[in-house]
Chains A and B, each alone.
Chain A
Amino acid sequence: MYRFLWRLLPGGAALRLTIAVLLTGGAVAALWYVVFPWLAPRLPIG
């Protein structure tokens, strides 16, 4: 799966790595600042 995703990215190794890091960072930021703050108050933890 990871190899398949890697091939999906355009450019050479350096560009692919950059894009991969940016996409991962974006996903982490979206989780941390949008998804988690929405989800956390809805969990039954005190």
Chain B
Amino acid sequence: MTATVRVIGELCLPAGLVLLLFYAYLLWGTGAETEREQRVLQRRLGEVFLRHEGRTGPAAVRPGDALALLRIPRLGAGYRFAVVEGVGPDELRRGPGHYPGTALPGQVGNFVLSGHRTTYAAPFNRIDRLQRGDDIMVDAWDARYTYQVTRKEVVDPGEVDVVDPVPGHPGQRPTTAYMTMTTCHPKFSAAQRLVVQSVLVRREERRD
């Protein structure tokens, strides 16, 4: 009995160390992983842009492929993330993901993105700081699209109408190009979703 208790007690030390190590991995390991992936994705995106590939359309974009470059001046001049196609764990590991089947950048409908709030370089960590009227720039294969933030809200994970073609109005036919960013809320949890809605205000030639 005493021996068993002692062994259990002794096992607590390595168990605690493993948990600490896992915490360190979440904080730094996942970020390093995403940054490595992002370097590759952004370079590839640059090549695609340079060759004007995909002028025919993004039909060839496969899950995990880079789709567009996201920049948000409010979050810093250096804020840039390659958006990947897909929102599964494997895609979100690489960067913010585009919900397959929702509108593409600049298209009428809802261009819906999901991204990590914490861990994996936390692309959407600070989107709660966005304010009404803030610019969100999306460089796509055909143009640069600028969206402007219209609203910000916290919803339950089941309230999926925020990703409808007309956000919040299921079944309605869209006539405007919207963009929706979703992430977890509060930080380090998945109890709720933070949602930032924006609307397309400008389309211009990409300058890269």
Give A residues with C-beta under 8 Å from B: 1-2, 28, 31-32, 36-37, 39-42, 44-46
Contact = CB atoms under 8 A, between A and B. Distances in A.
A2 B10 contact: yes
A36 B22 contact: yes
A36 B10 CA distance: 23
The range of chain B's interface size is 20 to 34
Contacts of A31: 18, 21-22, 25
B21 A1 contact: no
Chain B at the A interface: SS class: helix
Contact of A46 (B6, B10, B33, B117): B117
A2 to B, nearest CB: 7
A40 B25 contact: yes
A37 B94 CA distance: 12
Contacts, number: 49
Contacts of B6: 1
B183 to A, nearest CB: 6
B29 to A, nearest CB: 6
Interface of B: 6-7, 10-11, 18, 21-22, 25-26, 29-30, 33, 89-90, 92-93, 116-119, 183-185, 187-190
Given A36-B29, A41-B90, A44-B190, A28 B21 contact: yes
A46 B187 CA distance: 7
Contacts of A1: 6-7, 10-11
A44 to B, nearest CB: 4
B184 A46 contact: yes
A44 B90 CA distance: 14
A4 B147 CA distance: 65
